Amino acid sequence: MGFSLDWSVFLQELPEGGVYYWEMLLSGLWWTLGVAACSWLIAMFFGSIVGTIRTTRSQPLVFFGNAWVELFRNIPLLVQMFLWYFVLPEVIPPLKRWVVAADPAEAQFLSATLCLGLFTSARIAEQVRAGIQSLPRGQRDAAQAIGLDTVQMYRFVLLPMAYRIIIPPLTSETMNLIKNTSIALTIGLAELTFRTREMGEYTFRFFEAFTAATLIYIAIAMTANRVMAVIERRTAVPGYIAGGK
């Protein structure tokens, strides 16, 4: 009942010829990295803004920030992906016209990137807010006492400390985002996991294909993790447990 492993499968050509399986996985990897990078930028941008305005004293801003977070974090990514790609164009006719005319890969990329970016922005907003609120109240008071306005207070006092505190969970979110790109396979985007499954289907070598994908994901995540660890060390503030000596 056992089965033998055959690693040379990556050097075989696809049924239609001309392309090797390792090249197929590599093309998936580029899509994964592209979606991850673009949606990370979207997520950090909106997440920082929304997280910050939720700690202000302005009622409408706080309400807007809360609504944003609740909307994007309370529906599973799998379902959101489907709504962005299948349902939204049906409700917005101009979008539908664009989607039908555009290259399918572009429409999938746009849906996946926006969906993943906004989904993650809600989670980053939550981290940013928790970070700001974990700061001693004295910091806010002191900033106001020395005459900083609200923007200056956030820019020079609260945010620099808050970002340092939330680096560990922010690392988690970044790595989550990279891995969540795999859910874009549900709208047909040919990213790494999609290609891995496809390769499994063609060759019936699921174990080999999934092992390769696992190693690639580990490599990407380790790289992201190392970069964040360097940032964490470089920016540490003495006096907190994280700050070392």
Q: 42 vs 195, which CB is nearer to another protein?
A: 195
In residues, how long is the chain? 245
Q: 148 vs 221, which CB is nearer to another protein?
A: 221
Smallest separation (angstroms) from another protein to the CB of 112: 13
CA gap 141, 131 in Å, rounded: 17
Q: 44 vs 124, which CB is nearer to another protein?
A: 124
Q: 96 vs 155, which CB is nearer to another protein?
A: 96
Query: Which pair of structure tokens corresponds to residue 216?
Result: 């690639």
CA gap 222, 224 in Å, rounded: 5
Backbone angles phi, psi at 190, to 5 degrees: -85, 60
Smallest separation (angstroms) from another protein to the CB of 214: 6
Candidates 15, 25, 10; CA nearest to 193 is 25
Q: 32 vs 154, which CB is nearer to another protein?
A: 32
CA gap 160, 164 in Å, rounded: 7
DSSP 137-152: HHHHHHHHHTT--HHH
Q: 151 vs 241, which CB is nearer to another protein?
A: 241
CA gap 83, 75 in Å, rounded: 10
Backbone angles phi, psi at 237, to 5 degrees: -105, 125
Rounded to 5°, the CA angle 146-150-153 comes to 55
- Specify the residue for token string 């392309």: 19
